[in-house]
Amino acid sequence: MKYKRAICWFRNDLRLHDNEMLAQALRHSEEVIPVFCIDPRSFQRTPLNLEKTGPFRANFIRESLIDLEKSLQSTGADLILLNGHPEEVLVTFAEQNQVAAIFFSEEVTYEEKQVEKALYLNGKKKGIATQSYWQATLFHPEDLPFPIPRLPEIFTTFRKACEKESVIRQLFPTPVTIPFPAELKSTGTIPSLGELGLESPNPSEKAVLSFMGGETQGLKRVEHYLWETDAIARYKQTRNGLTGADYSSKFSPWLAVGSLSPRWIYAEIRKYEKEVEKNDSTYWLIFELIWRDYFRFISKKHGDRIFKRSGIQPETRVWKQDNLLFNAWATGMTGIPFIDANMRELNQTGFMSNRGRQLVASFLANDMGLDWTWGAAYFESKLIDYDVCSNWANWMYVAGVGNDPRSDRYFNLTTQAKNYDPDGDYVRQWLPELSAIPGFRIHRPDLMAKSDLSALGINLGTDYPHLVFKPKIW
């Protein structure tokens, strides 16, 4: 069917390359209007009194929109900014501008699906069609070896079946020109953080990378990691690092907002393997993209269960909800240097290594016994690369209520510190006060950082004796 005029509603797909939503709108419409909605619900405070979208992530999204706007303008189009609930303002705008259809990328989790359902119903009342497309993953759900309701609960089973039986679809071309209505003038401007009720972030100079949002920067990062430095050829050996820009790909912030297509990254890796080198590391980056797929499909299968304390398991243990102890974890004041360093990096930069995320999550859930959903909500607020499916499914996994055949997943912090920060360099970077301790090494549990927990009225040794570590409160 050919429409006279259609809207491309950009969501978490802020790019022109390999964008099926945009490609299909161009194919089926004479004129295309790119639109992004500033949804006030994304900037509310959560029940834990956290910013749902914190300053680091909000700034990254803002930069991504600025870049998208410039890219669209280079094609002869523009980006229309609307403020309000998308399911309402999109239909109103469509009515006012004789739009026959709204094209968008499909999401999987509860809040987003409710918006999609309401958009469909509101549009139907006005005679406006809606067309959705799946494009957030490497594999398309229609190409999986099994239907979503029968998706394996074990990742290895999923991965092996997909690698053997599934195909990865071809990329969609990047449009050179976009037919934009001549009489339509750009409406709205990309809001400042202040206008969103947020303070501008001031990232620490110790950040592993100066993340800048947008498709342009995302493509440059891939170019750097693969072709300029060959860092991908060492990925498997360095991926659990803690310091430096290239111990891991750092593609996740651009993937999270859709400024990078996972299929495009896959195509670049295959090209690199053909032209430069194919080894365990190049495969392992694809392996991680498959993990990302898996968590999105698991979220589609289990719906809003991924947000519940019981996760996707039939029963759950009792989780504590202790505000003082949670605040100590969140602010990096537990007295456990390896934990505190990672949390302070997160708070000061919006980023944390994969190794660090596993450790702080395990500590909160399995050592402190705190409600893991609080930790997941904190990550949602703070992480620059927050992805709803990856975040909540990973937290379930670590808390033992997700896709993990083992229960009570536990990390020994002393062993982890010995393996990944044997000289305490990372910890000293984020806890510089430790430099005053002669001969400090992170694997010395008797040498702990000075803690401010006492100011909160907490003594871990007596108030929380279940903790594996009993740090000295100085």
Give the tens place of pLDDT for each residue, 423-474.
888 988 998 876 665 555 544 443 333 344 444 444 444 444 444 333 332 2
State the first-to-last Cα distance of the chain, in angstroms, to the nearest integer.
Answer: 72
Query: Is the pTM here over 0.85, yes or no?
Result: yes
Please check whether residue 352 is in contact with residue 342, taking contact to mean a CB–CB distance below 8 angstroms.
yes
How high is the pLDDT of residue 334? 87
3-class DSSP assignment, residue 451: coil
Closest alpha carbon to 211 in 49, 79, 92, 385: 385
pLDDT at 435: 63
Question: Cβ of 236: how many Cβ atoms within 10 Å?
Answer: 16
Query: What is the chain's mean pLDDT, rounded?
Result: 90
Residue 82: strand pairing partners: 37
Residue 182: both structure tokens together:
């001549």
- Three-state DSSP class for residue 250: coil
Residues of the chain with confidence (pLDDT) below 70? 186, 405-409, 434-474
Structure tokens at 446: 């008797």
Query: Per the structure block, which two tokens stand in for 434?
Result: 């430790």
How far is it, in rounded angstroms, from Cα 23 to Cα 19? 6
Task: Provide the residue type at 344 as one letter.
Answer: R
Domains of the chain: 3-135 (3.40.50.620), 136-171+214-303 (1.25.40.80), 323-463 (1.10.579.10)
Of the candidates 447, 442, 446, 449, the one whose C-alpha atom is nearest the C-alpha of residue 425 is 442
Closest CA to 58 of 259, 182, 199, 159: 199
Task: Tell the burial category of 202 from Cβ atoms under 10 Å away from its Cβ (0-12, 13-18, 19+).
Answer: exposed
DSSP annotation of 367 reads I
From residue 463, alpha-carbon distances to 47, 153, 326, 329, 466 in Å are: 26, 38, 14, 15, 9
Alpha helices (H) in 29-127, listed in sequence order: 55-74, 86-96, 110-125
Q: What is the dihedral of CA 412, 416, 422, 423, to 10 degrees?
A: -80
- Closest by CA to 20, choosing from 127, 87, 105, is 105
Cα gap 373→381, rounded to integer Å: 12
Sheet holding 3-10, edge to edge: 80-83, 29-38, 3-10, 101-105, 129-133
Report the alpha-carbon distance of residue 9 to residue 165 in Å, rounded.
33
In 257-336, which residue ranges form alpha helices assigned H by DSSP?
262-275, 280-302, 323-330
Provide the b/e sequence for 65-74 (b: ≥16 CB within 10 Å): bebbbebbee
Q: What is the pLDDT of residue 203?
A: 84
What type of residue sits at position 356? Answer: G
Alpha helices in 363-440 (DSSP H): 372-382, 388-399, 413-420, 425-430
Using an 8 Å Cβ cutoff, are 262 and 20 in contact? no
H or E element, residue 407: none
